[in-house]
């Protein structure tokens, strides 16, 4: 009798292992998620021809990483004489007068400006000042899902606690690590991090009704299938971007809630999502079947001892 019970137990164990393996095989998508909003947005105007930038760029990305969620960095390269420059730089810098007169230049939450050579102390002081000025933080969540069929990613951005004031926008940046040829690196730096390669700006229309959708943008480069919907407690933005023969690990997403009054832009909230490490949904499918397997096997194999 006891041998039959053990046989049944191992049979159930084998069936559960097989079934859990099938579940894992059916779900191979990678997912990413983050939530925040308290980060200060650091935009740096830099250039591959700038010798001062060559002294700063190698360490400033690590500087931002070491500050954790307090700071997110975006590198805006010279759109005129830099192979990494684009109309994204022109669009973001257009609000600052004479913004391209000196590289490097730094803007914290679009206001606190520093120009020229800087060190850790200068940037930390500017960061603290910007944190002190920020009245409140918009809560922002970013979720991403990889599509194997189209070699693309779908992003969903939610902005919570939006008041009914006008002139508010959501800015979504696609950042990448880019390596250029030595012949293009006038200042000797070939690896550049946090380069803005995609950018979207949309007005947040507080007059939208619940479930009403808009797809109007102020600026868009690289993103497709764009829509903004007003839901019960937030504004939801959905959009896609394609890899273009690149790896997800090279990218990160930065979302900022911004407001422009009398030509002056200010940041109400910002958050960053790195695509380097995904939240693989397969892990959940493996863990729970294994727990069930252990419980059932234990009950069957030791049933006689407890009866």
Let me know whether 154 and 274 are in one domain. yes
Rounded Cα distance between 178 and 194, Å, is 8
Give the span between the Cα atoms of 64 and 123, in whole angstroms. Answer: 10
Does 67 share its domain with 16? Answer: no
Same domain, 291 and 214: no
> 11 with 80, same domain?
no
103: containing domain: 30-280
**Same domain, residue pair 276 and 292:** no
* Domains held by the chain: number: 2
Q: Are residues 167 and 300 in the same domain?
A: no
CATH number of the domain bearing residue 146: 2.60.40.10
236 and 168 in one domain?
A: yes
Q: State whether 6 and 82 are in the same domain.
A: no
**What are the residue ranges of helices labelled H in the chain?**
2-26, 51-66, 87-93, 120-133, 282-301, 303-306
Q: What is the largest CA-CA distance in the chain?
A: 88
- Indicate if 214 and 86 belong to the same structural domain: yes
Cα 137–chain centre separation: 17
44 or 161, greater pLDDT: 44
Q: CA-based Rg of the chain, rounded to a whole angstrom? A: 25
Residues 129 and 108: their CA atoms lie apart, in Å, by: 9
**pTM of the predicted model as reported, rounded to 2 decimal places:** 0.82
Whether residue 99 is found in the same domain as residue 232: yes
* pLDDT tens figures, 118-163: 999 999 999 999 999 988 889 999 999 998 788 899 999 999 988 7
Domain co-membership, 69 together with 118: yes
């Amino acid at each position: 009798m006891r041998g039959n019970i053990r046989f049944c137990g191992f049979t159930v164990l084998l069936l559960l292992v097989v079934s859990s393996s099938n579940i894992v095989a059916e779900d191979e998508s990678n997912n990413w998620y983050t939530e925040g909003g308290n980060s200060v947005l650091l935009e740096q105007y830099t250039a591959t021809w700038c010798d001062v930038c060559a002294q700063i760029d190698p360490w400033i990305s690590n500087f931002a990483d070491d500050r954790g969620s307090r700071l997110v960095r975006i590198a805006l390269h010279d759109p005129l004489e830099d192979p990494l420059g684009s109309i994204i730089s022109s669009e973001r810098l257009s609000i600052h007068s004479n913004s391209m007169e000196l590289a490097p230049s730094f803007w914290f939450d679009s206001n606190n400006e520093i120009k020229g050579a800087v060190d850790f102390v200068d940037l930390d002081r500017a960061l603290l000042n910007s944190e002190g000025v920020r009245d409140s933080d918009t809560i922002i969540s970013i979720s991403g899902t990889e599509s194997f069929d189209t070699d693309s990613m779908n992003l969903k951005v939610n902005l919570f606690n939006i008041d009914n004031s006008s002139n508010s926008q959501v800015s979504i940046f696609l950042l990448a690590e880019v390596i250029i040829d030595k012949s293009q690196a006038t200042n000797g730096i070939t690896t550049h991090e946090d380069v803005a390669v995609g950018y979207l700006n949309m007005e947040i229309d507080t007059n939208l009704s619940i479930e009403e959708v808009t797809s109007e943008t102020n600026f868009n480069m690289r993103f497709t299938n764009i829509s903004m919907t007003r839901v019960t407690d937030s504004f939801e933005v959905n959009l896609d971007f394609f890899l273009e023969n690149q790896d997800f690990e090279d990218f990160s997403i930065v979302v900022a809630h911004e407001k422009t009054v009398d030509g002056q832009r200010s940041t109400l909230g910002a958050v960053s999502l790195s695509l380097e490490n995904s939240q693989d949904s397969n892990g959940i499918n493996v863990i729970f079947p294994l727990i069930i397997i252990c419980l059932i096997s234990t009950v069957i194999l030791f049933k006689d001892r407890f009866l």
